[in-house]
Structure 1
Amino acid sequence: MTQTQVASLPKSYTIKWEKLPDDFQLPDDPVENIYHPLLASALREILEIAGFITASMLIASNFGICANVNEKIVVKAPDWVYIPNVLPVAAGVIRRSYTPHAEGDVPAVVMEFLSDTEQSEYSAKSTYPYGKWYYYEHILQVPIYVIFDPNDGTLEVHDLVEGHYQLRQPDANGRYLIASIGLFLGVWQGTKAEVTGNWLRWWNESGNLLPWGVERVEQSLQEGIEQGRMQEKLAIINRLLARKIGAIAPDLQSIINSLSATVLDELSEALLDFSNETDIATWLAQRQA
């Protein structure tokens, strides 16, 4: 049985952190549009490919985060949530909701994507069932609250400072360090899943954009093509050298085999000037100097 933890809030609120009963009927609101789930899944996909996600984490979208406030159950489903450590569920059990403290950590990051029809993401309604802003700020006390408008690409990152959210300014690249994840969050314009628009993406500390799966495949294919071209070019050069000079000393051959594509191009143009191994060795030494 889950132990109930109780904490006091301002205005005589009492909050209980207890797991929802198995028969509790969670809200089944329809997904607002196809774009929001794509945004959320794309954020997770990058982290998964990068090897960030572990079994102890919970990263989900449109997933109920619960609390019992003044004997009333409150459930809010962020568009994206990251929780560093959660207690495992029994084998074969599918997690239906999540209650902080009772089932693990408080969410480290919650994200909301602005809707076309309302801006409930900014609601500070302090009475039941509570606005999203108020719920994340005062009840859950989530350290980072992200609000993203896919329509115009506006990204806001709010940090919980002394119990209240403060808007953070982006860095020189227009990105925000999410310390609990160790990556930078920013806006990228382009196409994914046949949808062109503004996307949230992750960058590492070196400023490199972390790829989606399809981008990684394309990159690997391109690298394979380039590698094939280099091997073909190297084979042609080696044949020409063999005809002009004969066998090449192993140490010189090793250097030639390790040349970049650009230097191989230069070498192919210089072949006519070589009459012996000394000429080749001198030319290679000059390129390595």
Structure 2
Amino acid sequence: MESTQAVINPTTPTNQDIHTPKFTLPDHTQLPDSDGNFVLAKRTVGQNFQEHPQSIVLTSSIEPILQKIHPDGNYCIGQDSGIYWRLTDPPEKGAEAPDWFYVPNVPPKLNGDYRRSYVLWKEFVAPLIAIEFVSGNGEEERDKTPPSATEKAGKFWVYEQAIRIPFYAIFEARKALLEVYRLVDGSYQKIQPNERGHFPISPLGVELGLIEDDGVPWVRWWDDGGNLLLTGDERAIVEKQARLEAEEIAQQAKLAQQQAEEIAQQERQQKEKLAAYLRSLGVNPDDI
């Protein structure tokens, strides 16, 4: 059976006794945030300038959908922000920072401040989808290595077995390749694209796919009818174009009305001249 379970039990294997009265689990204000070392460690020479704009495109285009799903505003989107799933020393070893992820039914702010990171042992709600943009050869994003005393868990294993994110997407821009996995009975199964070449994300009623712009592939959202979800800038351009077209139509209608009025005026003047001529001949135009 397919799983879209969003509530999880956080994994917290440490030597500390978390049941003692003095022990308090750290929250997002007490852990390294998106400017911390775990993100800096990701920023290798292989990272490119497309990754940040790509995240913005995903967020801007999906937000109208999320606002309809969450009219109360209770959802959050992370962009290169940490998800803490395990208590470790140092804390960064127990975190992963997807390039983009979405968590439903949680407030974007805590105690009046926007989240610095996402801490599972404080939330117990997993992201619905995480997307990774490959900078290297893709091994890191597909690493299924379980955690050990000496080895950090592989990213694929963490998303699948620890955090249990229902949908996981891997985007390789260099290969124009998009892979999407869905959690089914506790393990990831690769989704096959539909007839449009898109990957359905059914809980959101959207599809994920690739589009090429000037030779560069981008990950984009479509609705379940196959209509591209536009970014804020694209929506503004469409709205401006629609406004200009409406103004042009209104101007043409106004011009047509003016021309019709001019024709009607000319016809009235011709009738008046004809009536005056008939009267000059002693003929009553009303009798004709």
The TM-score, its normalising length taken from structure 2, stands at 0.70
Instruction: Verify: 1:65 aligned to 2:69, yes or no.
Output: no
Instruction: Verify: 1:174 aligned to 2:197, yes or no.
Output: yes
Higher-Rg member (1/2): 2
Instruction: Verify: 1:200 aligned to 2:219, yes or no.
Output: yes
Q: Report % sequence identity.
A: 26
Corresponding residue number in structure 2 for 1:90: 111
When residues 20 and 244 of structure 1 are mapped into structure 2, their CA distance, relative to the original with a 3 A threshold, is closer
Amino acid at match of 1:142: I
From 120, 142, 147, the equivalent of 1:122 is: 142
From 97, 100, 120, the equivalent of 1:100 is: 120
Corresponding residue number in structure 1 for 2:251: 232
Instruction: Verify: 1:134 aligned to 2:157, yes or no.
Output: yes
Corresponding residue number in structure 1 for 2:130: 110
Deviation of 1:42 after TM superposition, in Å, equals 1.0
When residues 21 and 236 of structure 1 are mapped into structure 2, their CA distance, relative to the original with a 3 A threshold, is closer
| 1:243-282 pair list within 5 angstroms | 243-245=262-264
The TM-score, its normalising length taken from structure 1, stands at 0.70
Distance 2:88 2:163 in 1: 14
When residues 228 and 243 of structure 1 are mapped into structure 2, their CA distance, relative to the original with a 3 A threshold, is same
Amino acid at match of 1:145: Y
Deviation of 1:72 after TM superposition, in Å, equals 8.0
CA contact (8 A) 2:166 2:182 kept: yes
Instruction: Verify: 1:47 aligned to 2:50, yes or no.
Output: no
Corresponding residue number in structure 2 for 1:56: 74
| Partner deviation per Cα, 1:65-115 (whole Å, 9 max, x = no partner) | 112268885111001111102255112x34222122522411110111111
Distance 1:147 1:221 in 2: 35
| Partner deviation per Cα, 1:215-237 (whole Å, 9 max, x = no partner) | 12221222222222212222232
| Partner deviation per Cα, 1:260-289 (whole Å, 9 max, x = no partner) | xxxxxxxxxxxxxxxxxxxxxxxxxxxxxx
CA contact (8 A) 2:99 2:133 kept: yes
CA contact (8 A) 2:103 2:125 kept: yes
When residues 139 and 234 of structure 1 are mapped into structure 2, their CA distance, relative to the original with a 3 A threshold, is same
CA contact (8 A) 1:85 1:104 kept: no
CA contact (8 A) 1:100 1:107 kept: no
Distance 1:24 1:221 in 2: 44
CA contact (8 A) 2:12 2:86 kept: no
Distance 2:29 2:115 in 1: 10
SS at structure 2 position matched to 1:122: coil
Deviation of 1:23 after TM superposition, in Å, equals 4.2
> CA-atom RMSD, angstroms?
3.1
Corresponding residue number in structure 2 for 1:220: 239
When residues 117 and 7 of structure 1 are mapped into structure 2, their CA distance, relative to the original with a 3 A threshold, is closer
Distance 1:142 1:155 in 2: 17
Deviation of 1:147 after TM superposition, in Å, equals 0.7
Runs of 5+ consecutive residues of structure 2 not aligned to the other structure:
1-8, 20-24, 267-288
Distance 1:214 1:96 in 2: 27
SS at structure 2 position matched to 1:120: coil
Distance 2:159 2:176 in 1: 23
Instruction: Verify: 1:145 aligned to 2:168, yes or no.
Output: yes
Distance 1:119 1:34 in 2: 20
| Partner deviation per Cα, 1:161-210 (whole Å, 9 max, x = no partner) | 1111111111111112212322111111116xxxx611111112232212
CA contact (8 A) 2:10 2:163 kept: no
When residues 213 and 35 of structure 1 are mapped into structure 2, their CA distance, relative to the original with a 3 A threshold, is same
Corresponding residue number in structure 1 for 2:277: none
Distance 1:24 1:228 in 2: 54
Runs of 5+ consecutive residues of structure 1 not aligned to the other structure:
10-14, 248-289
SS at structure 2 position matched to 1:130: coil
